[in-house]
């Protein structure tokens, strides 16, 4: 079956916001094995929206429409679609009651235009919105399936996940199942070269590479009669990818992030951690602290931007700074050692680099970053050269520090038993 995505909203036409809904819905559809040939954006305009809907119905089986379901006069997606398809609007009693409860709970007064949201095209399937007032709707007309969803991503995504996806899965016999192999610290081109043979002959399952900052995700997707069968098709491919990329594969779980995988390793090994940052200036700490539950193992960290701070807070030697410079493997190493000692942490990660735009020299150009990881006394220091502007260098250094830390932890854990208390 073919699918088409229509996003409604003047703010998209004005370029006020980037169309992340289209990318999300497209990625979901690809994962479901649905072929998407067109995406379009129209404003909150009746004539142009009518034209777009009619064109879409003429060429696609499934039409996903987002936006324009709000309570104001500007929001006219539902009314326009219903009129274009010749379906009258009726009041949906469930939605009416839900809206009443929504406002009552928040102690807010219901204005007349809010009741507009309880109107739905006759005979449609109403999709509950757990995160807002506007319900979603699915209309089945002449073999076409038209899905209306609210525009805010925080409402659209859970609605798609909980209500639209199961509906679409049921349309065609068989299921689509995906698993993502997440790899860190290997370039996209290297990965594509390493799996050229797998990419060349692929049919079912397929492998699709997605580049992320400092990571590459390989999504393996299979289509089969049931989930069990699809998983069986995927299993050997995932196993092969894991075999080829070994320890660089940090997860095959869709909710896992690189920082979360690092935190889980630390928790499993019962290790506390601290950070000492110069050029990344808190970015590494911030990524780690985005993992809920980090308070068990992360107690304190240091932003040591000046040489003086490196000396006073971390005990870096003045002579080391003078002899090797702040951006050097020696200084990064002393930063990590000092941080571990002062924070009384088992593990310390230190970053020192030149983020630019100024401060670079021929010997030490902008983008040069030294990263040190100390894990229970064992220090590993590496030098990197990143490209891009100041923000990009800092983000790359942060991702790279997590990758380096992960490798050090794996090495450490390989020599120990997991989950045991440390002495």
Preceding omega of 205 cis (within 30 degrees of 0):
yes
Is the CB of residue 249 less than 8 Å from the CB of residue 183?
yes
Residues 6+ apart with CB under 8 A from 97: none
d(CA 287, CA 285): 6
Is residue 377 involved in binding a copy of itself (CB under 8 A)?
Answer: no
Q: Which of 232, 239, 299, 323 binds a copy of itself (CB under 8 A)?
A: 299
Residue 46, by phi and psi: left (phi above 0), alpha (psi -120 to 50) or beta?
alpha
Is residue 110 involved in binding a copy of itself (CB under 8 A)?
Answer: no
The first and second tokens of residue 86, run together, are: 């010749």
Going residue by residue from 127 to 166, which x/- string records binding to a copy of itself, judged by CB under 8 A?
----------------------------------------
**Nearer to a copy of itself among residue 95 and residue 178 (C-beta):** 178
Going residue by residue from 15 to 54, which x/- string records binding to a copy of itself, judged by CB under 8 A?
xxxxxx-xxxxxxxxx-----xxxxxxxx-x--x---x--
Is residue 108 involved in binding a copy of itself (CB under 8 A)?
Answer: no
Is the CB of residue 252 less than 8 Å from the CB of residue 244?
no
As measured in angstroms, the least distance from the Cβ of 60 to a copy of itself is: 11
d(CA 301, CA 295): 12
Is residue 188 involved in binding a copy of itself (CB under 8 A)?
Answer: no
With 0-12 / 13-18 / 19 or more C-beta atoms within 10 angstroms meaning exposed / middle / buried, residue 423 is exposed
**Nearer to a copy of itself among residue 225 and residue 391 (C-beta):** 391
Is residue 1 involved in binding a copy of itself (CB under 8 A)?
Answer: no
Closest by CA to 124, choosing from 169, 59, 158, 77, is 77
Is residue 283 involved in binding a copy of itself (CB under 8 A)?
Answer: yes
Q: Which of 304, 328, 352, 404 binds a copy of itself (CB under 8 A)?
A: 304
Is the CB of residue 33 less than 8 Å from the CB of residue 223?
yes
**Nearer to a copy of itself among residue 37 and residue 254 (C-beta):** 37
Is residue 289 involved in binding a copy of itself (CB under 8 A)?
Answer: yes
Task: State in Å, rounded, how far the first CA of the chain is from the last one.
Answer: 60
Sheet holding 249-251, edge to edge: 206-212, 215-224, 175-184, 249-251
**Nearer to a copy of itself among residue 40 and residue 97 (C-beta):** 40
**Nearer to a copy of itself among residue 298 and residue 412 (C-beta):** 298
Is the CB of residue 423 less than 8 Å from the CB of residue 267?
no
**Nearer to a copy of itself among residue 97 and residue 300 (C-beta):** 300
- Phi/psi for 313 (5° steps) reads -85, -30
Under rule CB under 8 A, which residues in 309-348 are in contact with a copy of itself?
A: 309, 312-313, 343
Is the CB of residue 190 less than 8 Å from the CB of residue 110?
no
- Candidate ranges 183-191, 193-201, 258-266, 299-307; the one touching a copy of itself (CB under 8 A): 299-307
As measured in angstroms, the least distance from the Cβ of 325 to a copy of itself is: 14
Q: What's the alpha-carbon Rg for the chain, to the nearest Å?
A: 27
Q: Residue 307: how many CB atoms within 10 A of its CB?
A: 16
As measured in angstroms, the least distance from the Cβ of 126 to a copy of itself is: 26
Q: Which residues bind a copy of itself (CB under 8 A)?
A: 12-20, 22-30, 36-43, 45, 48, 52, 55, 208, 210, 275, 277, 279-286, 288-290, 292-295, 298-306, 308-309, 312-313, 343, 355-358, 390-391, 394
């Amino acid at each position: 079956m073919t699918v088409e995505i229509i996003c409604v909203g003047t703010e998209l036409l004005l370029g006020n916001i980037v169309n992340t809904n289209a990318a999300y819905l497209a990625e979901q559809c690809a994962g479901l094995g649905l072929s998407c040939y067109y995406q379009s954006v129209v404003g909150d305009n009746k004539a142009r929206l009518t034209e777009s809907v009619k064109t879409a119905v003429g060429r696609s089986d499934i039409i996903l429409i987002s936006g324009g379901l709000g309570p104001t006069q500007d929001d006219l997606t539902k009314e326009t679609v219903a009129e274009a398809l010749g379906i009258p609007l009726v009041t949906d009693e469930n939605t009416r009651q839900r809206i009443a409860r929504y406002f009552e709970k928040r102690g807010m007064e219901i204005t007349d235009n809010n009741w507009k949201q309880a109107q739905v095209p006759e005979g449609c399937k109403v999709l509950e919105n757990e995160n807002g007032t506007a319900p979603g709707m699915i209309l089945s007309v002449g073999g076409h399936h038209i899905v209306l969803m609210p525009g805010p991503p925080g409402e659209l995504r859970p609605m798609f996940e909980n209500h639209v996806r199961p509906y679409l899965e049921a349309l065609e016999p068989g299921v689509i199942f995906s698993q993502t192999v997440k790899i860190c610290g290997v370039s996209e081109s290297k990965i594509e070269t390493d799996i050229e043979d797998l990419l060349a002959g692929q049919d079912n399952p397929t492998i699709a590479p997605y580049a992320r900052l400092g990571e590459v995700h390989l999504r393996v997707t299979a289509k089969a009669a049931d989930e069990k069968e699809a998983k069986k098709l995927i299993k050997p491919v995932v196993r092969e990818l894991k075999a080829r990329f070994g320890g660089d594969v940090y997860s095959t779980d869709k909710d896992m992030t690189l920082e979360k995988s690092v935190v889980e390793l630390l928790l499993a090994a019962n290790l506390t951690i601290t950070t000492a940052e110069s050029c990344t200036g808190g970015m590494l700490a911030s990524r780690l602290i985005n993992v809920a539950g980090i308070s068990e193992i992360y107690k304190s960290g240091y932003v040591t931007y000046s040489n003086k701070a490196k000396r006073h807070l971390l005990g870096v030697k003045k002579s080391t700074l003078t002899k090797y410079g702040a951006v050097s493997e020696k200084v990064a190493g002393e930063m990590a050692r000092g941080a571990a000692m002062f924070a009384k942490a088992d593990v310390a990660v230190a970053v020192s680099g030149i983020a630019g735009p100024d401060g670079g020299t021929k010997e030490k150009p902008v983008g040069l970053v030294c990263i040190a990881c100390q894990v229970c006394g064992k220090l590993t220091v590496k030098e990197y050269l990143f490209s891009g502007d100041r923000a990009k260098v800092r983000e790359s250094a942060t991702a790279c520090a997590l990758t380096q830390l992960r490798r050090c932890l794996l090495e450490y854990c390989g020599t120990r038993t997991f989950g045991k208390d440390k002495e």
